[in-house]
């Protein structure tokens, strides 16, 4: 799940092809350039009624744009190697992991690999951190 206009736009920038994008009332006007981009990519758009997004979102106060996309994986050989590596071991708080991920991602194209964590790195709070720079 990709939540928020910035996260959805960042995912599109990186080649993600969401199955469906869900828009809260008014989101099509508020984020017109993004919605046009989604339409041009021929991604299905569902307009939700008031209050529906709050029930399907994983967050307490959801963003007005939400998308469902398959997780993208690439072989390690395709990752850019710029000499910077972040290794996270036994990080249990997604907020802390998210801060570290945003820090490493602030360097353009910095690779990030997550392995064997007690905390699922596909958590929604961490998904946001992966997508934003």
Do 63 and 16 belong together in one domain? yes
The tens digit of pLDDT for each residue in 6-15 reads 989 988 998 8
Contact assessment for residue 47 and residue 28, using Cβ atoms and an 8 Å cutoff = yes
CA distance linking residue 45 with residue 60, whole number of Å: 22
Q: Inform me whether the pLDDT recorded for 107 exceeds 80.
A: no
Q: Are residues 64 and 105 in the same domain?
A: no
Averaged pLDDT for residues 54-71:
85
Q: Which has more pLDDT, 16 or 133?
A: 16
- Please answer whether residues 19 and 69 qualify as being in contact, where contact means their C-beta atoms are separated by less than 8 angstroms: yes
Say whether pLDDT at 131 is over 70.
no
Dist. CA 94–CA 21, nearest whole Å:
25
- Here the CATH number for the domain that contains residue 9 is 3.30.1330.30
Pairing relationship of beta strands 65-68 and 44-47 according to DSSP bridges: unpaired
* Same domain as 52, residue 7: yes
Rounded CA-CA distance 78/34 in Å is 28
Tally of domains within the chain:
2
């Amino acid at each position: 799940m990709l939540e928020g206009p910035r996260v959805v736009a960042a995912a599109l920038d990186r080649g993600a092809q969401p199955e469906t994008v869900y828009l809260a009332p008014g989101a099509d006007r508020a984020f017109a350039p993004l919605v046009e981009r989604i339409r041009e990519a021929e991604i299905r758009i569902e307009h939700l009624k008031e209050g529906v997004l709050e029930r399907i979102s994983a967050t307490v106060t959801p963003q007005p744009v939400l998308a469902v996309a398959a997780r993208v994986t690439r072989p390690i050989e395709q990752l850019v190697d710029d000499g910077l590596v972040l290794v996270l071991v036994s990080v249990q708080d997604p907020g802390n992991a998210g801060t570290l991920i945003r820090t490493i991602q602030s360097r353009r194209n910095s690779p990030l690999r997550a392995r064997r964590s007690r905390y699922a790195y596909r958590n929604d709070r961490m998904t946001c951190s992966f997508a934003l720079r």
